[in-house]
Each structure stands twice: as structure tokens, then as C-alpha cells.
Amino acid sequence: MIPDEYAVLFSRIDSLKEELTKRRPLTQGELKQLQEEFLVEFTYNSNAIEGNTLTLQETAMVLEGITIDKKPLKDHLEAVGHRDAFHYVQQLVSNHEAFSEKVIKDIHSLVLIDMPEDRGVYRRIPVKIMGAFHEPPQPYLVPIEMEQLVAEFENTKLHPIEIAALFHLKFEGVHPFIDGNGRTGRLILNFTLMQNAYPPINVKFADRRRYYECFDMYYRDDTAEPMVRMVAEYVQERLEEYLKLLIE
């Protein structure tokens, strides 16, 4: 059942998706080029949102194995970890792997390459999200809430875009790990989209204020609509980009 406020938006996106599947597919070479470009942009933006100082160009260079002078090792490791985590997500999707807490912890283990003791481990101390309206649950509640969260989304009948956006809101609210929650959450968001044959999206660093406001609107005003619309707009943008390439 699609809520009325999303009906037009989801219908437009699903029409674009259908049109894309009917068209001549891209060659393996073209697809590889587009995927590599997306991965660099996704890695740069997702890491930049969390304070990584590498530029887009520097991120591309690091992913090619080049060390950037005067940039912290941590920033280099975050780029490599994020790339490896996205490749893992692609592998999960191509193998039709089911979503689970193990998948979440495995993604996080790859993301948090620079913090070996905290990789794939739920936090054991309370945390506060600076400047956020919402306060995450106490550490003893995290395993219970994560188990419930995964179970809730296994049985939902919502549209995949709404599922992806809602899970992202709730996952970041639980804030299950000591670090790397944002990057892990955006990778899970893309896992959900890709599982349902939508393109992965790239939440841009330039849009971070709107992105953060989506969380406050959810936890303060009890509305998921801003996040659902933001995710949907990004999906639509990527589908239109692919169609433009095939038409030209």
C-alpha cells in the first residue's frame, strides 16, 4: 500500500525504472566506467559528511593506491574501507543474500578499517549525537532494538524506497556503533535500493543540512516524509542520468 503523498513520486520513478529495463543495456565497459565514477563520488561524499578532509580528486587518487601528502592516514583508510564495503554490498546483492544483523556488522567491519577493536561490535557506552534532537538508546538496549528493527523490515509491505528511507532513519536513531554509523547506514540504504533493482544513491556533502534536518523532522515532528522524498529524488535523478546516456 503506497501512501497518497508518495503515489505520484513513486509512480514516476517506477515508470523510469521500467523504461530503463526496456532499453538497450549498457556494455560491460560502459557499466564498469559508470560504477567506478559513482563509487568515487559516493565514497567522497559519504566520508566528507563525517568530517573526512580528502577532496573528490584526492579520494579518486587514494582509491587508485596513491598516498596524499599531508593528509591523515585515517582519511586514507576511510576511503579504502568505504570502497571495500560498497564492493561487499554489490556482492551481497548479486548473490541475492538476505538482509540480517550479520550483514550490518560485516558492512561496519569494512567501514571501520581504522578502528580494529570496534569493528562490527555494538557500542557498550552511551552516546550523544551533537546538535541532534534525538538521543540514542542506552547501550544495553542496542542489541534488542537492532534485532527488532531488522525483524520489522523483513515483513513490511511498503514500497522499497520508503523501506530504505525509514530503515535509515531508525538505524541512525539507534546509533548502534561507537563510530561509522552514518557511512554504514548509507551503505545499508543502498543495499536495500539495489536489492530491489533501483540504482544506489549518493547523498551529497552539499546537501548535508537538508539531510540532517530529515532526521530532526522524524524524531521531533514524527514525519518520515522529508527523508522519503530526499531518497526518492536521488533515485529519480540517477535513473534519469542513465536514461539520458542511453538516449544520446
**Residues classed as catalytic:** 175
Please give the distance of CA 33 from its chain centroid, rounded to a whole number.
Answer: 21
Neighbours of 135 (CB within 10 A): 13
Task: Report the 10 Å Cβ neighbour count for 32.
Answer: 11
CA–CA separation, 177 vs 82, rounded Å?
A: 16
Rounded CA-CA distance 229/233 in Å is 6
Long-range contacts of 123-129 (CB under 8 A, 24+ apart): 123/175, 123/176, 123/177, 123/178, 125/178, 127/175, 127/178, 129/175
Indicate the SS3 state at residue 228: helix
Instruction: Tell me the residue type at 130.
Output: M
